[in-house]
């Protein structure tokens, strides 16, 4: 294996490994999979990493970030040294959920692949700020779209799409395949066969955005490795890291404070505004500029937490009621029914 090391969180390289702090950043531990792919190709990964300005003792701390320019430069060097136009697909074999830190554990503990995709949609900024994920349902299909906000090299797209499908097969069943795949990258001159072999689905290239299309029925199946408690705990860790990463993002900051204040029953707009060092009026204006309100964020956060808590069979409804800041179970039940159309008891009875 290479000389890259997995340090403990907090002792790794400072975030501005990104040579331009204004550039979208990417989780640094992703590069550990690239190192393994280089070593499997009989290439000294330490030499290549140093050549592109990445230190040999890269940490798994999710706050250790690499700039998009650095990632592109690294992949270009890897393709050149291995003479492998499909190097990104090779990296997909070595990417593992722990490379995504707490988000990886949250994904692994998801109750279904639909939950898996929703977590990616919510928390993908921890992986990279260079792309935005959106999830839509159209009839019997689920579309997971990747919109690239800056230039995004094809090998990165190959690696993550390959990783996604491999991981979903691991969590659900080995024969699981997407219905179709669309890639933003152009097709390599050598052809599309390695993509078709990996995805077992039609693949198109040079599209406006990246897209994975799935059968909705597959995504709704319960996963045998589901663990709501682990998913909930990991989500909280992801949100705390995003708050540090997106210091100027008001929605992330408000969401984190709502989660922090709900259990004591004192989660008001004024209290959250004070915790964020701004007046309630300024907070309201900032949220309005983002197309939302404090009440919408409060309701959405409560709904998400409530669903996660109710999946934890050991938690009684009375406990969940107070964890979400409600005074009594009848108020919680009315709110939950308005959010989901189901009572908490009926929600728990679902398969």
The answer to whether residues 136 and 173 belong to one domain is: yes
**Based on the domain organization, do 73 and 151 belong to the same domain?**
yes
214 & 278 share domain: no
Domain check: are 191 and 254 in the same one? Answer: no
CATH label of the domain that carries residue 202? 3.90.1520.10
pLDDT of residue 22: 58
335 vs 333: CA distance, rounded Å: 5
Kindly state whether residues 86 and 182 are assigned to the same domain: yes
Residue 7 has pLDDT above 70, yes or no: no
What domain count does the chain have? 2
pLDDT band at residue 2 under the 50/70/90 scheme: very low
- Give strand pairing partners of 141: 138, 215
Q: Which of 219, 239, 272 is the last residue of a domain?
A: 219
Angle at alpha carbon of residue 166, lines to 31 and 18, rounded to 5°: 20
Are residues 63 and 123 located together in one domain of the fold?
yes
Q: Please determine, for residue 62, whether its predicted confidence score (pLDDT) is greater than 90.
A: no
**DSSP single-letter state for residue 128:** B
Between 304 and 120, the more confident residue is 120
154 and 38, same structural domain? yes
pLDDT value of residue 13? 37
Span 56-76, mean pLDDT? 87
Evaluate if residue 155 carries a pLDDT over 60: yes
- Helical (H) or strand (E) element with 69: helix 68-82
In a shared domain, residues 141 and 189:
yes
**Closest by Cα among 1, 5, 95 to 42:** 1
Which range (9-23, 41-55, 233-247) has the least confidence? 9-23
Inter-helix orientation angle 250-261/294-310, to 10°? 50
CA-based nearest residue to 115, from 183, 178, 168: 168
| Domain end residue (candidates: 179, 199, 219) | 219
The two three-digit tokens of residue 289, written as one number: 């500029």
Query: φ, ψ for residue 34 (rounded to 5)?
Result: -65, -40
Q: Is residue 142 assigned to a domain?
A: yes
Select the more confidently predicted residue: 184 or 247. 184
The pLDDT value recorded for residue 217 is 97
- The C-alpha angle with vertex 104 and arms to 99 and 107, in degrees rounded to 5, equals 155
Full-model pTM: 0.79
Assess whether pLDDT exceeds 60 at residue 142. Answer: yes
Judgement on whether residues 287 and 183 belong to the same structural domain of the protein: no
CATH of the domain at 284: 1.10.10.60
Q: What mean pLDDT value characterizes the chain?
A: 89
Identify whether residues 198 and 303 lie together within a single domain: no
Average of pLDDT values for 91-99? 95
Say what the pLDDT of residue 36 is.
95
* Domain presence at residue 213: yes
Residue 280 lies in a domain: yes
> Residue 23 — pLDDT band, cuts 50, 70, 90?
confident
Q: Strand, helix or coil at 203?
A: strand
**Domain boundary, last residue among 174, 202, 219:** 219
Q: Which residues pair with residue 146 across a beta bridge?
A: 133, 210
Q: Which domain holds residue 144?
A: 25-219
Using the 8-state DSSP alphabet, how is residue 193 labeled?
H
Residue 84 lies in a domain: yes
Quick one: 74 and 180 in the same domain? yes
242 part of a folded domain: no
Mean pLDDT check: name the lowest of 52-61, 144-153, 185-194, 217-226. Answer: 52-61
What percent of the chain has pLDDT above 90? 71
- In a domain? residue 309: yes
* Tens-digit pLDDT profile for residues 195-235: 999 999 999 999 999 999 999 999 999 999 999 999 999 99
Claim to verify: residue 171 and residue 281 sit in the same structural domain: no
Is the CB of residue 302 less than 8 Å from the CB of residue 335?
yes
Find the mean pLDDT for residues 179-194. Answer: 97
Cα 259 from chain centroid?
19
């Amino acid at each position: 294996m290479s000389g890259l090391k997995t340090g403990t969180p907090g002792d790794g390289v400072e975030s501005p490994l990104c040579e331009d702090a204004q550039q979208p950043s990417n989780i640094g531990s992703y590069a550990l999979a690239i190192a393994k792919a280089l070593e499997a190709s009989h290439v000294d990964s330490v030499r290549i990493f140093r050549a592109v300005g990445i230190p040999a003792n890269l940490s798994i701390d999710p706050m250790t970030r690499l700039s998009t320019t650095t990632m592109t430069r690294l992949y270009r060097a890897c393709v050149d040294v291995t003479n492998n136009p499909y190097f990104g697909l090779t990296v997909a074999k070595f990417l593992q959920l722990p490379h995504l830190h707490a988000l990886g554990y949250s994904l692994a503990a998801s109750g279904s692949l639909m939950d898996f995709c929703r977590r990616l949609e919510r928390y993908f900024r921890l992986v990279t700020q260079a792309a935005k994920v959106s999830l839509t349902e159209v009839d019997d299909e689920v579309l997971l779209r990747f919109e690239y906000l800056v230039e995004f090299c094809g090998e990165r797209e190959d690696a993550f799409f390959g990783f996604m499908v491999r991981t979903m097969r691991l969590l659900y069943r080995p024969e699981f395949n997407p219905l179709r795949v669309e890639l933003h990258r152009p097709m390599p001159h050598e052809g599309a066969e390695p993509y078709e072999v990996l995805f077992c689905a039609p693949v198109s290239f040079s599209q406006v955005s990246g897209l994975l299309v799935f059968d909705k029925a597959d995504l709704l199946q319960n996963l045998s490795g589901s663990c709501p408690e682990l998913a909930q705990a990991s989500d909280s860790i992801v949100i705390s890291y995003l708050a540090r990463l997106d210091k100027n993002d008001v929605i992330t900051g408000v969401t984190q404070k709502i989660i922090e204040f709900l259990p004591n029953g004192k989660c008001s707009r004024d209290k959250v505004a004070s915790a964020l060092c701004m007046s309630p009026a300024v907070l309201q204006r900032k949220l309005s500029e983002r197309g939302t309100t404090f009440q919408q964020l409060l309701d959405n956060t409560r709904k998400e937490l409530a669903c996660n808590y109710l999946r934890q069979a050991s938690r009684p409804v009375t406990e969940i009621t107070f964890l979400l800041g409600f005074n009594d179970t009848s108020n919680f039940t009315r709110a939950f029914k308005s959010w989901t159309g189901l009572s908490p008891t009926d929600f728990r009875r679902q398969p």
